[in-house]
Amino acid sequence: MRRAVQGVTLDREGNLYGTAVTGGSGSCEGGCGVVYKLTNSGGIWSQRVIHAFAGGNDGSGPGARVTVDRSGNVYGMAPTGGAHGLGTIYKIFQGPSGGWSLKVITLFTAARMEPQARLEG
């Protein structure tokens, strides 16, 4: 994972969430970016990628800080990719089995401005 540029977000349980513009997988040079979670257990931090962007409909280059709601859902934006290539706003949520899934909330089109700022919770 590389280029974590916008800082991290703290949730109610003390976990940290962040994004990296590159890294992960996908068709982008250097990877299409990731959203990660850092968990502290006994003073040792462990990192888990909760979504690796593919550069397709999910978006790419998620460089903005994410927002975490009271239920632990993670919201953010990817300024590129998506069905129209102009970015997405997404929600990442944890399922009953513990796995993480991404849902695209909106796709940006030529008729809408490209997303530029982080979501406020």
pLDDT tens for 44-59 read 999 999 999 998 899 9
How far apart CA 107 and CA 84 sit, in angstroms, is 7
How far apart CA 82 and CA 34 sit, in angstroms, is 15
Q: Which has more pLDDT, 61 or 119?
A: 61
Give yes or no for residue 9 having a pLDDT over 90.
yes
Structure tokens at 67: 């927002």
Structure tokens at 108: 């940006």
pLDDT bracket for residue 1 (50, 70, 90):
very low
Grouping H, G, I as helix, E, B as strand and the rest as coil, residue 39 is strand
Structure tokens at 80: 């590129």
Asked whether the whole model's pTM tops 0.85, one would answer no
Average pLDDT over residues 21-32: 87
Structure tokens at 92: 């990442």
Average pLDDT over residues 3-15: 81
pLDDT, tens only, 75-96 = 999 998 888 888 899 999 999 9
